[in-house]
Amino acid sequence: MTSEDQRTAYSEAYAAWQKQLGDLHDVFLAGNRLDPVRLKGLLNRESRAKVRYDRARRALLGIEEDAAEADDGDGEEDVV
């Protein structure tokens, strides 16, 4: 991946995460109500967007992902 591709991936991931984070803040800080199913979906989308942003940030900075950071978010330790 070229540095331009990395910058683009980072910018897109950051914008997507900020959008999801803004939606989450609307619920928790502005008091907008969601039913439990929609809230769970919102939390999952924000979490996935943050993971994508973190990966793009590390790639841009040239930081390799180690096994501890490669957690897939299922709450279980991966066996290597």
- Residue 41 forms part of a structural domain: yes
- Residue 77 forms part of a structural domain: no
Instruction: Domain count for the chain, please give it.
Output: 1
Tell me which residue of 46, 78, 47 sits closest to 65, measured CA to CA: 78
Query: Is 78 or 66 the better-scoring residue by pLDDT?
Result: 66
- Residue 42 forms part of a structural domain: yes
- Residue 73 forms part of a structural domain: no
* Structural domain that includes position 54: 3-61
pLDDT tens, residue by residue, 8-41: 999 999 999 999 999 999 999 998 999 999 999 9
Q: What is the CATH number of the domain that holds 54?
A: 1.10.287
pLDDT at 28: 93
pLDDT at 52: 97
Percent of the chain with pLDDT over 90: 74
Q: What average pLDDT does the segment 53-64 reach? A: 93
pLDDT at 80: 32
- Residue 20 forms part of a structural domain: yes
